[in-house]
Every structure is written in structure tokens, then in C-alpha cells.
Amino acid sequence: MAQLGTQIESVAGARRIEATQPRLSRWRALEESRLFPAVLVLPILIFFLVWNIIPLLWLLGVSFYRFKLTSAQPEQYIGFENFRRLWESSVYWGTLGRTLTFMVCSVGLATVLGILLGLLFWGSARMPGRRLALTLLFTPMILPPVAVGTFYRLIYDPTFGVLNYYANRITGKTYDFLGDKELAFWALVAVDVWMWTPFMTLMTLAALGSVPKAELEAAEIDRLPWLKRLWYVVLPHGKFILMLGILLRTIDAFKTTDLVYLMTRGGPGNRTELVGVTLYRQGFEAFQMGNASAMAVIALLIAIAFTSIYLYVLNYRETRAALR
């Protein structure tokens, strides 16, 4: 009887298998087809195409036109005219130079301060309240630039600003930090450094964390002076992470727009006008779309250049790792 039961069961089982067989084989056929990988990649490709490639090509196209949103005239193809004009514009070159200065000063200062702070926190692993101090230190980084811009405008304010209050007490003079031709640029650099030093501290701590403990102990036992310890033990392990942080910051600093726009709108005159600000004002205040697009294309090329450096450094690390 039991035997009969299992027989019936197995027959039923076979039937079930038959029923699922066609669906299974269809799936397998799809899986084995050469198109299958393409099918899997397709969604992200479509996304990429719609949101990245098409707008970029569109941008590139627009940069070859005279295209003003406020004008009744139809857009007109002018070839490289927009680029030629930018090339010949001393104002634009000035802006580019200013942006590079901003980038170098801001990233340089943030890196130096960040590394120093990182070393400080690294050396104070047993200090009470270290966690709290670290959390507080990282707040500028997570604040939106809009908030930072707004409250720094208040801090820098010549009449109500807290900074002026103290500056006045010490020197007896009143400073208009954001209105002064000489000071405005550096006031902005200071805010950017304040915002991004924590990021560099974080990268420094990550870099220091990647140094094997035994190597640090060996250096201590071998009585290496601290500069040699940094150079021969810490840097060989930490330099890639640090480099990555610097490059990310460089690309980011080049694009700085929101902070400047909120605090000075590029003024006084064009003393704080960076490429991002110029671009924004050309596009959305003057509605010179053709011109703005040409600027955007140039900005894109510069960003690509930085990204290439970044990728080169990453690859360099991988080839080194492979060789090892």
C-alpha cells in the first residue's frame, strides 16, 4: 500500500516537473542568449542616456548658437563664436584665474589644517571627550552651504556681525568683510576652509588608520624621529587616501557657486566672481544661454581633466598593488 502511495506521488511529481519545464527552458534560453547581458545593462544605459548624454550633447549644441531667452530673434548658428569671445575676454580669463586661486588657497589651507587636526586627534586616542569633539568638528561639513552662507553673512555683517564686534574692539576700526575689495575674496576662502577642513581631517584619519600598527610600533622602537616616521611609515600607506581627498576637494572647489552667490553674488565688482557664479548669472540672470553653455563646456573640460588625474592616481595604486 505504502509502495503504491509513493508511486502515485512520484507520478504527480513528474507531472509537476513537466508543467514547469517550458517556462524554465524559456528562461534558460534567454539566459544563454547573447543579448542577455545587454538586457541587464539596458535600464541603466537608458537612464544614463536620458539624463547625462542627451543633456550634455544638447549643451554642446547650444554652445554653438547665439541663443538668448529674452530675445524674440530665433537662435542662430554661429560656430565657435561663443568660445572665441570667451577666449578673447579678459574678464573671463580673470574669473578663471580667480577660481584657480580660490581653489588652490581653499584646498591648500583646508588640507594643511585638516592634516594637523587629524594628527592631533590621532595622537589623542585616549583623551576624554574625543568622540564629542570629533562629532562637533564634523558639523560644518554636513551643513548645507545655504545655511553656512546665511549665517556667515550675519557673522561678517559690518553693523551687527559678531566678527566686527571683536575686530572693532581690538583695532578700533569697522570692517565690511564682504563689501571690501581686498577682504571679500579672503573672507570667502575662510568660509570655504572652515567648511571643508573637517573633510580633510576625516580623510587624514582614514589615511592614518590604514597604517599597520606593527609598523608604527617598529618605528617607535627603532627611535625614528617623528618626521621620518611620517615620511617612511605613515605616508607610504596613507598617501593614496589623502590624495583622493585632495582631488575630490579640488574638483569640488572648482565648482563652488552656491556659497559665493549667497554671500556676495560675485561682488564687490567682480572681486569674488568664480566660474560657477559667472555661469549662473549668464544663464539665469542675463539668459544668454549660448554663452552660458560655452562656459559650461569649458568647465566640463576642466573637470574632466581633474577626473583624469584622479583616475590615473587610482590606477597607479592598483598597478602598484598588482606588482606587489
Partner 1 sequence: MSEIRVEGLTKTFGPVVALDNVSFVFPESEVTCLLGPSGCGKTTLMRIIAGLETPTSGEVYFGDQRVTRLKPSQRDIGMVFQYPVVYRGISVRRNIELPLLSQKLSAAERQRRLDTVVQILGLEDSLDKDITQLDNGTRQKVAVARAVARQPRIILFDEPITNVDAHSKLQLKRSFKELTRQLRQTIIYVTHDQTEAMTLADRIALMEKGKIVQCDEPRELYNHPADVFAGWFLGNPGMNFFPANVVAAGQGLALDAPFFARPVPLTGNGQPGQITVGIRPEHVVVHASQAPNAVEARLLRKSITIGRQYLLAIDRQGQALKAKVPPSVGVALGSTVWVELPLDRIVLFNEQGRRAGLTPSELAGASAASTAARVPAGSV
Binding interface with partner 1 (CB under 8 A): 212, 214-215, 217-225, 228, 232-233, 236-237, 323-324
Q: Specify the amino acid at residue 291.
A: N
Say how many C-beta atoms besides its own lie within 10 A of residue 115's C-beta: 21
Q: How far is the CB of 218 from partner 1 (least distance, A)?
A: 4
| Residue 44, CA distances (Å) to 31, 66, 102, 133 in order | 19, 34, 36, 42
Cell 534567454, located at residue: 30
Q: How far is the CB of 80 from partner 1 (least distance, A)?
A: 47
Closer of 9 and 220 to partner 1 (Cβ): 220
Closer of 222 and 285 to partner 1 (Cβ): 222
Closer of 123 and 236 to partner 1 (Cβ): 236
Q: How far is the CB of 203 from partner 1 (least distance, A)?
A: 20
Closer of 180 and 215 to partner 1 (Cβ): 215
Contact in structure between 259 and 148 (CB atoms under 8 Å)? yes
Closer of 87 and 232 to partner 1 (Cβ): 232
Q: How far is the CB of 228 from partner 1 (least distance, A)?
A: 7
Q: How far is the CB of 78 from partner 1 (least distance, A)?
A: 54
Q: How far is the CB of 226 from partner 1 (least distance, A)?
A: 10
Q: How far is the CB of 236 from partner 1 (least distance, A)?
A: 4
Closer of 61 and 123 to partner 1 (Cβ): 123
Cα(268)–Cα(30) distance, rounded to whole angstroms? 64
* Cβ within 8 Å of residue 177, ≥6 positions away: 156, 158, 161, 163, 164, 183, 184, 187
Q: How far is the CB of 188 from partner 1 (least distance, A)?
A: 38
SS3 helix, strand, coil % of the chain, rounded to 5?
75, 0, 20
Helix axes 289-323, 235-254, angle to 10 degrees: 170
| Residue 34, CA distances (Å) to 104, 159, 293, 300, 319 in order | 50, 71, 40, 36, 32
DSSP letters spanning 272-324: T--HHHHHHHHHHTS-BHHHHHHHHHHHHHHHHHHHHHHHHHHHHHHHHHHH-
Contact in structure between 296 and 216 (CB atoms under 8 Å)? no
Closer of 220 and 285 to partner 1 (Cβ): 220
- Judged by phi (left if over 0) then psi (alpha if -120 to 50, else beta), residue 265 lies in left
Closer of 1 and 227 to partner 1 (Cβ): 227
| Residue 208, CA distances (Å) to 121, 245, 259 in order | 10, 13, 31
